[in-house]
Amino acid sequence: MRLAALVVALVTFTAWSLVIVAPEGLPGLFAVLSERPWARQVFVDLCLALTVAWAFVGPEARRLGLPLWPYLLATPFVGSIALLAFLVHREWRRSRRTPSRALPGDEEPGA
């Protein structure tokens, strides 16, 4: 269930982002950031939030043997899409584990 929800979020948000960003690309982002202080604040907030998220997710990636660098390198270019893609990868990896190969922390919350 968690994997399906993450896939829906990833696909939906990526499609919406492409529709919004494609017409203007990065020049559109830079124009908004240079004109609007609130846009700069939201941008810095997003950067901080993603940094904190990766600080928590990074150790788990290492524990599960998942590659982290491709997602970290993509983050400055696609933002939270990279984090969502990692979470999909993580849940897919967890779903492929058998109970005998489960790692600590693989159990579902509340189970």
111 residues of the chain, pLDDT tens digit each: 899 999 999 999 999 999 999 899 888 888 999 999 999 999 999 999 999 999 999 998 999 999 999 999 999 889 999 999 999 999 999 888 755 555 555 555 554
- Kindly state whether residue 102 falls inside one of the protein's structural domains: no
Does residue 61 belong to any structural domain of this protein?
yes
**Prediction pTM value:** 0.79
Whole-angstrom Cα distance, residue 111 to residue 96?
18
Q: Which helix (H) or strand (E) holds 35?
A: helix 25-35
* Structural domain count, the chain: 1
Range of the domain at 66: 2-96
Tell me the C-alpha to C-alpha distance, in Å, between residue 67 and each of 18, 86, 95.
25, 9, 17
Q: Is 110 domain-assigned?
A: no
Q: Is residue 69 included in any domain, yes or no?
A: yes
